[in-house]
A and B are shown apart, each in its own frame.
Chain A
Amino acid sequence: MTTTFLPCGVYHENYIQDHAWWQTKFIKGKMLLLFFLLFILIPLLADTYILSICNQIGYTILGAIGVQLLIGYCGQLTLGHAAFVAVGAYTSTLLILEFPWPAILLNLGLAYPISIFIAGLMAGLWSVLFGLPSARVKGFYLILTSMAAQFIIVDFIITQYVSQIGGRGQAFSLPPGTIKLGPWLIDSDLKVYYLMILLCIICIVGVANIMRSRVGRAWVAIRDNDISAEVMGINVIKYKLLAFFYAGFIGGIAGSFWISNLAAISPEHFPWSWSLWLVGVILIGGVGSIHGTIFGALFMVLVMESLQLMVLPLADIYPKLLMDFLFIKEAAFGLAICMFLIFEPNGLAYRWWQTKNYFNLWPFSY
């Protein structure tokens, strides 16, 4: 997946055109349509069920984009990203519940936005802490340390200690009215949806822009060959840790977004299988592509939902199926990952790229 070719007859005359995000009128129109769809059409037409699926997709995108940054762009394998999502979620919840906010901030509704940011920072720092071994080890060994991060953070620190703060027992519930974004109280799926779209756009644009900067190019160099990157004068450790920080930051944002939808969080929301799920999402979507993250999230959530819709009518005949659905889902997810990696190792983004180029180059595709 390298470059997308420009359509026949389009050429650039200066660098500004060459660096532009949306290079042709067609793309601008397409993006306008997308905005129209996301901000007007879906909120207008969708019912609560569809909105909740959209929110799930958004959460998956937010979680997976950090994994994409680490695995797809910086080449640091990780299987423990859910831990940092959990750190974000818990930081945000604790800040909202326990921190003595000044009345003025509460009245302005800034408590939640500030807690999102702090949650991001916190998750980023934890991510850097567990990214430190990347200075010494890589590949499979790094997977092991990230797994250690998952078990230590979620199963130990959060379950045993953080959950005890305030004496609430295992689950933290957020009383209604605590999650406010400015003057808006986030209490319905529609409002969560708008928040999700906002955060997704910020994170996607942020990552896409980082990738066009020196930092992004350094990451790609490290991914392709870290020894030659070092030879070229890139401070490998610094950039690796930076990648861990950004990935953790976005993970933290994902976690602190998700509490607005959950209203009660417990460590079971961030199991190891969720980390694996996020890696599966980027592998199905396509490694090293932001489109891929979005496609992967869409694919995974939609396929699982349609699987559920297919199972539901059968449940009348065979009621045990409803109970077993969770297991069917698990097995189907595993099989989907295997099949994609074996038969479509470049992911959905590769097909997207091929189709786009086919139409761009048409009729002179050779």
Chain B
Amino acid sequence: MELFLMSITTGVMVGGIYALVALGWVLIYKCSGVLNLAMGEMTLIGAYISLSFYSAGVPFLLSLGLSLIIGFILGIITERIFLDRLIGEPVLTVIMVTVGLSFFFKGSLELIWGTDTQVFTPAVFSIEPIRFGQIIIGQVYLWSFIAAIILLVIFVCFFKYTRWGLAMQACADDEMAALSIGVSARFVYAVAWAIAFMAAGVGGTLLGNINGLNISVGYLGLLVLPAVVLGGLNSIPGAIVGGITIGVLQNLCGAYLDRYFPGAVKDIAPFAFMAIFLLFKPYGLWGWERIERV
């Protein structure tokens, strides 16, 4: 029972980070219809930038903020150079451009920062665990979860109440109508990429705090794919629920199935689950069902 509760709480906490990254993914898809496979590398970029600032002696929050700003700029640049020209191209073309981007980012990251695991020194969060009755949680998890939730709330408020957020909602809902009332679709695409970069960067920084940062943290960025499929590709609440579910699922599998299938169950479970889930509910929990005509 203790193990069960512990793995659920840890799962929810890590899931909060996944939810944040998944939110960025869904945002890009909703606004511009781009299915982004470079999310893992985007998390790495933000994480490495904030790690560099932090290692140089900048306070953690400030370095996080700086990585947000740089992420914003990088997002806009990426969109302008690569994805702006691809509006209206077939799905495979767009996906493969993001795959190309992921190779490009990954190569550049390895070139700049190397492949060794780097940790945030001195540790940002104290290693002393916190106890809630029987449950013991590392402080890293708790603070990461809180940070992720705060950012999720900020993003959701941004969509609901600001001018840019409303423009993005309009564009996601009906691009033609949005264009006709004077929303600039190109601007919306750029902002969507910028926000996705920012969300991914924060997610990556938090993940990097848990186990140290190396290229394989980018694999965790791929876990957003099962998360968004679970929630439905174009649903922001779906992304949040999906992210948390995947976090819980991963930790439960790690806790219980590892005995029977030693090895990498924890990494594989989300993808196996996703493949089976797709057979029964291809459009996820809240995704729009696509109606096809000849």
Contacts and interface: CB of A to CB of B under 8 A. Distances in A.
Given A334-B105, A341-B97, 11 more contacts: A77-B91, A133-B279, A141-B229, A144-B225, A152-B268, A159-B264, A227-B293, A228-B294, A324-B110, A330-B107, A342-B97
A107 interface: no
A328 interface: yes
Given A327-B110, A334-B103, A342 B86 contact: yes
B274 interface: yes
B100 A335 contact: yes
A228 B294 CA distance: 6
Contacts of A342: 82, 85-86, 97
Interface in B272-294: 272, 274-275, 278-279, 282, 292-294
Given A225-B294, A276-B99, A341-B97, A327 B107 contact: yes
Interface residues of A, number: 50
A159 B105 CA distance: 27
A77 B92 contact: yes
Nearest to A135: B279
A145 interface: yes
Interface in B64-123: 82, 85-86, 89, 91-93, 95-97, 99-108, 110-111
B106 A334 contact: yes
Given A71-B92, A327-B107, A147 B225 contact: yes
Contacts of A141: 229, 278, 282
B175 interface: no
A345 interface: yes
Contacts of A227: 292-294
A319 interface: no
Most buried by B among A136, A148, A283: A148
A259 B265 CA distance: 28
A335 B93 CA distance: 14
Interface string A326-366: 11111111111110011001000000000000000000000
Contact of B96 (A140, A148, A328, A337): A337
A335 B107 CA distance: 10
Contacts of B85: 342
A160 interface: yes
A328 B37 CA distance: 20
A231 B293 CA distance: 12
Contact of B278 (A137, A279, A337, A338): A137
Contact of A148 (B91, B274, B292): B274
Given A338-B97, A342-B85, A160 B35 contact: no
Interface of A: 71, 77, 79, 130, 132-133, 136-137, 139-141, 143-145, 147-149, 151-152, 155-156, 159-160, 225, 227-228, 231, 273, 276, 279-280, 283, 287, 324, 326-338, 341-342, 345
B262 interface: yes
Nearest to B82: A338
B93 A341 contact: yes
A69 to B, nearest CB: 15
27 contacts: A77-B95, A79-B37, A130-B275, A136-B278, A137-B282, A141-B278, A143-B35, A145-B278, A147-B271, A148-B271, A148-B272, A155-B268, A159-B264, A227-B293, A228-B294, A276-B99, A279-B96, A280-B100, A327-B106, A327-B108, A330-B103, A330-B106, A334-B101, A334-B106, A335-B104, A336-B100, A337-B99
A109 B56 CA distance: 64
Contacts of B294: 225, 227-228, 231
Tell me if A's interface is mostly helix, strand, loop or mixed.
helix
A327 B91 CA distance: 27
A182 to B, nearest CB: 40
A155 B261 contact: no
A33 to B, nearest CB: 34
A331 B103 contact: yes
Contacts of B225: 144, 147
B108 A331 contact: yes
B274 A144 contact: yes
Contacts of A334: 99-107
A338 B263 contact: no
A336 B96 CA distance: 11
B91 A324 contact: no
B111 A324 contact: yes
A140 B35 contact: yes
Given A273-B103, A329-B107, A330-B107, A283 B82 contact: no
Most buried by A among B91, B100, B278: B100
B273 to A, nearest CB: 9
A337 B274 contact: no
Given A283-B96, A341-B86, A342-B82, A155 B264 contact: yes
Contacts of B274: 144-145, 148
Given A151-B271, A152-B272, A342-B86, A140 B91 contact: yes
